[in-house]
């Protein structure tokens, strides 16, 4: 079976792979793209060189017997982002703001100290936390508290820890949500964000729409 720590997406004619074990991204060369498509569409190895199939197996995109190629994840990105609540919403309790700040600081420290595979395991475990239906206005209000806290701790390139922190913060308040990784090419850039079934949370659709989703936790 293709490795569970591998995920991939297609960007134009290119295939990009994320390897959670190695905390790295890989863009397949054309020879591997051709061999991988042969496996996907024919269900069997094509006529390409054996070394291409061996490379796909090493990466984790297929089994060692060159069958069962890794399936592309189906990740739907909502067309809307969750705006902050209307002006005039009451100021959040200090303990809620402190909880958001603590989540952000903890996540930023964790990203420096832990490999991606461990961080991903922790985020995936959050799916077992209870959640309940909630009005969009309430989700927006709770997300806005986190955004306000994040503005007090500005940092460049902090989408990974801040997304981890937001997932923890919202899940602790019984809000179901997921963390999504995306990529774009020319030049290569990776990004991650949080979303639920209705909206992108704590980020903007304008920003997120530049990326092709590759992994959802």
pLDDT digits (tens, 9 = 90+) for 151-164: 999 999 999 999 99
Same domain, 109 and 183: yes
Residue bearing the bigger pLDDT, 65 or 27: 27
Residue with tokens 């985020």: 123
State the total domains in the chain. 2
- Per the prediction, the chain carries an average pLDDT of 90
Q: What is the pLDDT at residue 194?
A: 98
Q: Averaged over 14-20, what is the pLDDT?
A: 96
52 lies in a domain? yes
Same domain, 112 and 171: yes
Same domain, 54 and 111: no
Give the bridge partners for 16, in sequence order.
Answer: 9, 27
Task: Say yes or no to pLDDT of 87 above 50.
Answer: no
Q: Averaged over 7-25, what is the pLDDT?
A: 95
Same domain, 48 and 127: no
pTM (predicted TM-score):
0.90
Same domain, 52 and 158: no
Same domain, 51 and 117: no
Q: Averaged over 37-55, what is the pLDDT?
A: 76
> Containing domain of residue 202, as a range?
94-216
Give the bridge partners for 15, in sequence order.
Answer: 10
Q: What is the pLDDT at residue 89?
A: 56
The answer to whether 205 and 81 have CB atoms below 8 angstroms apart is yes
The answer to whether 143 and 201 have CB atoms below 8 angstroms apart is yes
Same domain, 48 and 146: no
Same domain, 128 and 190: yes
68: pLDDT confidence band, cut at 50, 70 and 90? Answer: confident
Same domain, 99 and 53: no
Q: What is the pLDDT at residue 111?
A: 97
In this structure, what DSSP letter does residue 81 have? B
Same domain, 200 and 154: yes
Q: How far apart are CA 2 and CA 20, in angstroms?
A: 13
Q: How far apart are CA 167 and CA 171, in angstroms?
A: 6
* Edge-to-edge strands, sheet with 178-184: 200-201, 189-195, 178-184, 212-216
């Amino acid at each position: 079976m293709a490795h569970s720590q591998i995920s991939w997406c297609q960007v134009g004619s290119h295939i990009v792979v994320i390897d959670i074990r190695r905390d790295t991204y890989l863009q397949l060369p054309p020879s591997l793209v051709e061999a991988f498509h042969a496996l996907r569409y024919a269900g069997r190895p094509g006529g390409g060189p054996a070394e291409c199939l061996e490379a796909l197996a090493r990466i984790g995109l297929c089994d060692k017997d060159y069958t069962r190629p890794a399936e592309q994840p189906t990740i739907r990105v909502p067309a809307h982002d969750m705006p902050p609540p209307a002006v005039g919403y009451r100021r959040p309790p200090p303990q809620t703001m402190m909880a958001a700040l603590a989540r952000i600081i903890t996540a930023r420290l964790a990203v420096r100290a832990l490999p991606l595979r461990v961080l991903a395991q922790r985020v995936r475990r959050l799916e077992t936390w209870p959640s309940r239906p909630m009005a969009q206005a309430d989700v927006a209000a709770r997300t806005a508290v986190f955004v306000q806290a994040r503005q007090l701790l500005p940092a460049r390139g902090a989408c990974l820890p801040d997304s981890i922190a937001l997932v923890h913060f919202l899940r602790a308040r019984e809000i179901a949500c997921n963390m999504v990784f995306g990529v774009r090419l020319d030049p290569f850039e990776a990004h991650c964000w949080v979303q639920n079934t209705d909206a992108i949370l704590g980020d903007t659709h304008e920003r997120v729409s530049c990326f092709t989703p590759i992994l959802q936790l």
